[in-house]
């Protein structure tokens, strides 16, 4: 079998005091209509990215409202995940010459994973490119049941034709596809059902729940961060698309005006991202021994609670992506009433309303100037934070995504 991911329990009732009543009522009614429907999510990793974080919340909530929901991850060699990371980058616009060895590695692993697939489901949702071709092999083996959804979490607007043309025949075998934004859908792509569903954060997770100042101070002291000096934070994988080198350049611009400022670059090193370790080293070299630049990750014991503390202690949050599927860390920071400076790409403009809850920027110099503006105007920063939290409450909390997915599941289940 594929690898089952254990998840905890969660009740939709816990969200009644946070989100609008109509969303909760909608979820409960859909749950009654779909009681016992078998749902499976397949992804490439159980930690280290937004997909995993969302599933840790959504799977137990699906179970709570009556669905028979499970989550499994695919195994894969280092070569396989190296290839899928290259595919990921190419789908976001990076140059790549695709070789027969790459396609063979990719397809062979998905065929092996299809052999491990077992069970009968009403709806299966496969996340992102890594396991995308598994359906083709499952169908060949006569193991397909129910309806299958491909969930694309990345920005395909500048996808390289070599990789897209290779993957597209496998993707067209799905019954439905889900994209974060309409712009991400390739012009010639078609399946029976396409849905637009933006990601969300869980306000009750350890990464987002309220914590007191004493705990925040204790966590910062553990990592030798001065709570009495201004803090800038970017929470992202060490990845070229997150532009960590550009973040350091922006910090250096701000430091000319605010020499006491500190920069935290916080990441989770994931098993499906071998490139991350290389880019960590590259970022470290660019930091050039600056004691006020802190490169932190799960390798130093940083988990969700620590990220929560770092974000709440920050005066400004940065998400200077050059490509971004959505960027859940933006909503996380806004939920904590912090202004966010983000790249004007992907799903970030859905979350940052320029000048209202942060700023959209296109380069390090502009980013650095906006950091200075926010540090010089703390009341403006606080007002942006208040506006940002309400924007997230209305649009980007877990129950809304749950309702959207359940509507899609119900549509597909009824059409079986």
* Nearest in space to 248 (alpha carbons), one of 286, 276, 282: 286
Query: Is 290 in the same domain as 313?
Result: yes
Q: How far apart, in Å, are the Cα atoms of 155 and each of 88, 121, 151, 152, 260?
A: 10, 29, 12, 8, 37
d(CA 136, CA 266): 38
Strand pairing of 3-4 and 68-73? antiparallel
Confirm whether pTM is higher than 0.85: yes
Strands annotated E in 47-187: 68-73, 123-127, 147-151, 176-179
12 and 28 Cβ atoms separated by less than 8 Å: yes
d(CA 384, CA 22): 27
Query: Is 225 in the same domain as 329?
Result: yes
Alpha-carbon dihedral angle through residues 362, 363, 364, 369, given to the nearest 10 degrees? -60
- Using DSSP, state whether 80 is helix, strand or coil: helix
Mean pLDDT of 330-343: 98
Q: How many CB atoms lie within 10 A of CB 6?
A: 8
Query: Is 109 in the same domain as 138?
Result: yes
d(CA 401, CA 224): 37
Query: Is 180 in the same domain as 231?
Result: no
pLDDT tens readout for residues 215-274: 999 999 999 999 999 999 999 989 889 999 999 999 999 999 999 999 999 997 765 566
φ/ψ of residue 87, rounded to 5 = -60, -45
pLDDT value of position 205: 95
pLDDT value of position 178: 98
Query: Is 180 in the same domain as 50?
Result: yes
Query: Is 264 in the same domain as 389?
Result: yes
CA atoms within 13 A on the CB side of 43: 24
Q: Is 205 part of a structural domain of the chain?
A: no
pLDDT tens readout for residues 47-92: 867 899 999 999 999 999 999 999 999 999 999 999 999 999 999 9
Q: How far is CA 265 from the centre of its chain?
A: 17
Query: Is 7 in the same domain as 156?
Result: yes
pLDDT value of position 50: 84
**Continuous segment of H or E residues that includes residue 235:** strand 231-235
Q: How many domains does the chain have?
A: 2
Q: Which of 298-302, 321-325, 374-378 reaches the highest mean pLDDT?
A: 374-378
Whose structure tokens read 């990371």? Answer: 85
Between helix 161-171 and helix 78-91 the angle, nearest 10°, is 110
pLDDT value of position 336: 98
Query: Is 85 in the same domain as 109?
Result: yes
Query: Is 189 in the same domain as 71?
Result: yes
Strand pairing of 176-179 and 147-151? parallel
d(CA 173, CA 163): 17
Confidence of residue 187 (pLDDT cuts 50, 70, 90): confident
170 and 133 Cβ atoms separated by less than 8 Å: yes
Q: Is 208 part of a structural domain of the chain?
A: no
366 and 251 Cβ atoms separated by less than 8 Å: no
Range of the domain at 224: 213-395
Q: Buried (b) or exposed (e) across 73-97, using 16+ Cβ within 10 A?
A: bbebeeebbbbbbbbbbbbbbbeee
pLDDT value of position 276: 75
pLDDT value of position 78: 92
Q: Residue 70 belongs to a domain with what CATH number?
A: 3.40.50.2000
Q: Indicate the average pLDDT of the chain.
A: 95
130 and 44 Cβ atoms separated by less than 8 Å: yes
Q: Is 206 part of a structural domain of the chain?
A: no
Query: Is 194 in the same domain as 222?
Result: no
Mean pLDDT of 27-51: 93
Mean pLDDT of 305-309: 97
pLDDT value of position 274: 66
Residue 7 has pLDDT above 80, yes or no: yes
Least confident of 4-13, 94-103, 210-219, 277-286: 277-286
Query: Is 187 in the same domain as 221?
Result: no
Q: Is 139 part of a structural domain of the chain?
A: yes
Reading the block at residue 388, the tokens are: 């940002």
Least confident of 41-55, 122-136, 247-261, 387-401: 41-55
φ/ψ of residue 41, rounded to 5 = -105, 135
Query: Is 147 in the same domain as 262?
Result: no
pLDDT value of position 333: 98
């Amino acid at each position: 079998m594929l690898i089952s991911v254990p998840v905890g329990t969660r009740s939709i009732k816990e969200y009644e005091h946070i989100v609008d009543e109509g969303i909760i009522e909608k979820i409960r009614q859909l749950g009654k209509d779909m009681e016992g429907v078998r749902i499976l999510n397949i992804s490439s990793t159980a930690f280290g990215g937004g997909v995993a974080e969302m599933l840790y919340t959504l799977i137990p909530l699906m179970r709570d409202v009556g669905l028979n929901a499970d989550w499994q991850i695919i195994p894969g060699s280092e070569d396989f995940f190296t290839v899928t990371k290259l595919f990921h980058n190419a789908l976001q616009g990076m140059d790549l010459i695709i070789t027969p060895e790459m396609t063979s590695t990719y397809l062979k692993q998905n065929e092996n994973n299809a052999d491990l697939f077992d069970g009968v489901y009403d709806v299966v949702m496969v996340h992102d490119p890594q396991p995308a071709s598994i359906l083709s092999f499952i169908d060949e083996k006569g193991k397909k049941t129910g309806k299958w959804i491909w969930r694309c979490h990345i920005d395909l607007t500048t996808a390289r034709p070599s990789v897209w043309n290779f993957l597209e025949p496998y993707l067209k075998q799905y019954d439905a596809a889900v994209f974060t934004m309409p712009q991400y859908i390739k012009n010639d792509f078609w399946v029976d059902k396409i849905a637009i569903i933006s990601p969300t954060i869980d306000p009750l997770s350890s990464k987002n729940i309220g914590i007191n100042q004493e705990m925040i101070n204790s966590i910062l002291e553990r990592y030798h961060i001065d709570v009495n000096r201004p803090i800038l934070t970017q929470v992202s994988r060490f990845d070229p698309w997150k532009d960590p080198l550009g973040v350091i350049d922006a910090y250096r611009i701000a430091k000319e005006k605010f020499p006491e400022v500190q920069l935290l670059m916080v990441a989770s090193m994931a098993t499906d991202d071998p490139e991350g370790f290389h880019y960590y080293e590259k970022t470290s070299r660019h930091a050039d021994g600056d004691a006020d630049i802190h490169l932190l990750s799960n390798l130093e014991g940083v988990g969700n609670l620590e990220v929560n503390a770092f974000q709440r202690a920050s005066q400004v949050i940065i998400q200077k992506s050059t490509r971004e599927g959505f960027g859940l860390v933006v909503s996380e920071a806004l939920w904590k009433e912090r202004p966010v400076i983000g790249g004007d790409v992907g799903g970030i403009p859905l979350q940052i309303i320029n000048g209202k809850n942060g700023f959209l920027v296109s380069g390090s110099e502009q980013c650095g100037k906006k950091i200075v503006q926010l540090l010089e105007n703390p009341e403006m920063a606080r007002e942006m934070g208040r506006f940002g939290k309400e924007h997230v409450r209305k649009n980007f909390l877990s129950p809304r995504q749950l309702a959207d997915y359940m509507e899609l599941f119900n549509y597909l289940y009824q059409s079986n």
